[in-house]
Every structure is written in structure tokens, then in C-alpha cells.
Structure 1
């Protein structure tokens, strides 16, 4: 029985890894689409302006992010990591 449970856990971990990679590819595709439309839509909107101002208040070393960078970070944090959208998490995701 314990061997079966161990096999089941290993299979589950493998499936989670495959799902994570698929989600990461989805985020990369969304980012590419955003970047292609960036000249038409612009690099900044009201959300990025607010986020950049708020994060700069918390960390004086904060560098402004674009709309597409925010989209990528939000996608990876929600689909891949199930993490919270915070200034520190955004920086961590964008450094990869």
C-alpha cells in the first residue's frame, strides 16, 4: 500500500510540473501579444501608474514597470505560483 501511495505522489508531482510548464508558456504567449500591441496601446495605464507610485513609496529603489511586465508578473503569480501580486513578488518574477 505504501508503495502505491508513493507512486501516486510521484505521478501527481510530475503532472503538476507539466501543468506549471504549460501555464508558463501561456504567460509567455500573453506577454508576446501584449508587446506586439504596445505601440498601439501604450506602455502605461492607470493601473501601472498607481502600482509604480505605490511600490516607489514602499521601496525607493523601485524601477517603473510597463503594462506588459505587469501582465506577465500577474499571469505567472496567479497561474504558475498561486502567489499574491505584491511589489516584492513582481520584482522576483521579472528577474527570471
Structure 2
């Protein structure tokens, strides 16, 4: 099982294929989360920026940034449970 603290998006909890902040948790990939659209290492660099980004994303209806990758039966509440606890 993947370590959710390393592989979970800090904003939306989507489990990524690789650690968005590297295996050391300090080396961002600058990739884009296909779910919420956050750029790892830029828009999720501080707790405040994470909370602001998440709030806006949720207020906008939690749209998928890459809608082609949205799985059938997607469950937002279940996915949000994968947000690492230190980023809630």
C-alpha cells in the first residue's frame, strides 16, 4: 500500500503515481494534480495556500482539472480522507 502522506495530494487527497513532493517530502515535482489542478511545489507550498486552494476548489464544485481521468463512481468525501492530516 502506498504511503498516503507521500503520494496523496495535499489539496484533494488523490493518490498520485509518484510522490508529488518526492520521497523526502521536500522535493516537489511541479506536476499538476489531475483532480484539483494544484501545481505541486507552487500552490501547495504552505498550509495557508493549501487551505485557500482547497476551499476555492470545493466552492467551485470540486471539478476535475483533467476530466478525462475522472473515474466512474468518484467519491469526493472518500478521496478527501486521503489528504495527509497535517494539511487539513
Q: TM-score range by the shorter chain?
A: under 0.3
Greater Rg by CA? 1
Instruction: Flag the structure with more relative contact order, 1 or 2, with Cα contacts below 8 A and sequence separation at least 6.
Output: 2
TM-score between the two structures when normalised by the length of structure 2: 0.26
- Higher helix fraction (1 or 2): 1
TM-score between the two structures when normalised by the length of structure 1: 0.25
